[in-house]
Structure 1
Amino acid sequence: MKTMTHFAFFDEGSKKEIRRATLKAVAIPGYQVPFASREMPIARGWGTGGLQLTLSLIGKTDIVKVIDQGADESVNAVSIKKLVQQTTNVALTENTEAASLIQSRHRIPEVPLTKEQILVLQVPTPEPLRQVEASEYITKRLHAEDEYSGAWLLLFEQIMKYGKTATGADHPVYVNGRYVMAPSPIPRFDNQKLHYSEALILLGAGREKKIYAVPPYTDVNSLAFEDYPFTVESFADHTCYLCGADDVFLDELIDETSGKSYYQCNDTSYCVDRLNSLKEKEAAPTHA
């Protein structure tokens, strides 16, 4: 008996169910839509929510890029790319501008996305109120009532303890003036990229069985008090030691020999592209 294989791993019924949930998420920005999360050939917690979105939306002409905390070559990114490529035979790329579909864990690319692109973010904990309320039933009611004092209380406690908000990542945002949303564990530096993004941004949590979205040109604002405004990570006086970039998210690294620290672009493909561009300019002949 011949075994049937499906394009992009899922059968058409599964894809349609995920697409219906995705359409509802796009129609109600920031709202968490439950969906029947499927079993995947990777463990839950390793990007199954994002992968299900990618496999339900991908077409034969798409060009796919997968990154993990800014890197195209990490184990998680490489494993997901292999699965996508083996079940679709679509083209892969590390070039952000060339990709039509980008799946990412913990970062939004440095290159501004366009209306022709879709960004899929992997999400471990989609509920922004989970730290203050364990009950799913109650958090749903709080969202329905637009009651977010718990989220504000968390920020207030941080200010009382540290003198400032201390969210290293996943800082909650208000979407379209209605729902408070967890933006996935992206650094605060990336929150501003959600605001009026030209690209459609989809967020998938496989373990928690939720899909939510930020449609293009949507108002997204990070939660902050008037007297303690929202701030992003500062890399003042630091540049990437490879390409010299000073306006991107940088990783601090330690030289094992000297013990001195240095900085490098977190987005590896951005760094490589910028470095190649600088080399081309240097190699170009100058005219008198």
Structure 2
Amino acid sequence: MNEHINFAFFDEGSKREIRRATLKAVAIPGYQVPFASREMPIARGWGTGGLQLTLSCILPEDHLKVMDQGSDESVNAISIKNLITSTTGVQITQDTGQATLIQSRHRIPEVPLSAGQILVLQVPTPEPLRHVEPRERLTKKLHAEAEYSGAWLMLFEQIMKYGRMATGADHPVRTAGRYVMAPSPIPKFDNPKMDHSEALILLGAGREKKIYAVPPYTSVVSLDFEDVPFEAESFAGKKCCLCGAEHVYLDEILEADGTVRYQCNDTSYCLNRRSRREEN
């Protein structure tokens, strides 16, 4: 830890302000709470909202995991880990089960999260109604009136055009039977993981200055229709070429000779499976 910088980078007043907004978000699942987004030593749009949540929640005894689109070793993940460790001295882990605090971009880990863990998701666009209403004042009114026909209209237009709901990621969800929220650009495959999750899920958008949350054991239902139910990506009949995992989110890799192979998107999950297989 850098002794010339305050623990977790921020001054204590800034951390208290972010924590107050976070507590309000936890108390009202799915509701977007405005907060005074701070200037960070990384550009807005590179995870400043999630990073501010992590820095305001982290404790010296925490074990931190940072992943970016399934990888623990991407440039973005490494840069965030370097900043956090240099200002806190906390231990870093790639093992989801050992982590007490997980910051992620575009994925929820394959290993089911447990009670006591906190998952922080980076969010570029927190407003699920932004595509139908650009004015913030009116989107707030729509949320207050629970008027979400615009979200269903977007999905209906996709069905009419493509024959299915074509949201590859960031498929809107209804939280605790009330607020419709953007789950961050996670693939539809990860949406069911939010439903009644044992872990606390925090979502932060630094550029948009919003924090929202999904408390543990909260209902999270992906929007759909009675005659067109929600369907996540299917990898039936496919498995990871490295660890043999099935029923996980897989990356499709095209080889130079034209053959296609599949590999776990969650790299630490894949490494742990291979390590256990070698030990046995």
Q: TM-score, normalised by structure 2?
A: 0.98
Give me the whole-angstrom Cα distance separating, in 1, the residues matched to 2:245 and 2:4.
49
* Aligned equivalent of 2:157: 157
* Aligned equivalent of 1:110: 110
- CA-based RMSD: 0.8
Q: Please state how far the C-alpha of 1:261 moved relative to its aligned partner.
A: 1.1
The residue correspondences of 1:102-141 to structure 2 (distance < 5 A) are 102-141=102-141
Give me the whole-angstrom Cα distance separating, in 2, the residues matched to 1:237 and 1:193.
21
The residue correspondences of 1:257-268 to structure 2 (distance < 5 A) are 258-268=257-267
Identity, % of aligned positions: 73
Q: Per-residue CA shift, 1:229-265, capped at 9, x if unaligned?
A: 0001011211100000111000001112x12110000
* Equivalent pair of 2:197/2:216 in contact (CA under 8 Å): yes
SS in 1 for 2:55: helix
* Aligned equivalent of 1:15: 15
The unaligned stretches of length 5 or more in structure 2 are: none
**Number of residue equivalences:** 278
Amino acid at match of 1:260: T
Give me the whole-angstrom Cα distance separating, in 2, the residues matched to 1:247 and 1:148.
32
Q: Please state how far the C-alpha of 1:280 moved relative to its aligned partner.
A: 1.5
The unaligned stretches of length 5 or more in structure 1 are: 282-288
SS in 2 for 1:97: coil
Q: Please state how far the C-alpha of 1:5 moved relative to its aligned partner.
A: 2.4
Give me the whole-angstrom Cα distance separating, in 2, the residues matched to 1:114 and 1:216.
9
Matched, 1:269 2:268: yes
* Equivalent pair of 2:124/2:207 in contact (CA under 8 Å): yes
Q: Please state how far the C-alpha of 1:51 moved relative to its aligned partner.
A: 0.1
Give me the whole-angstrom Cα distance separating, in 1, the residues matched to 2:139 and 2:170.
18
Structure of higher CA gyration radius: 1
Give me the whole-angstrom Cα distance separating, in 1, the residues matched to 2:4 and 2:22.
26
The residue correspondences of 1:139-218 to structure 2 (distance < 5 A) are 139-218=139-218
Q: Please state how far the C-alpha of 1:4 moved relative to its aligned partner.
A: 5.4
Q: TM-score, normalised by structure 1?
A: 0.96
Runs (4+) off by over 3 Å: none
* Aligned equivalent of 1:26: 26
Give me the whole-angstrom Cα distance separating, in 2, the residues matched to 1:197 and 1:5.
35
Give me the whole-angstrom Cα distance separating, in 2, the residues matched to 1:274 and 1:132.
44
Give me the whole-angstrom Cα distance separating, in 2, the residues matched to 1:80 and 1:275.
27
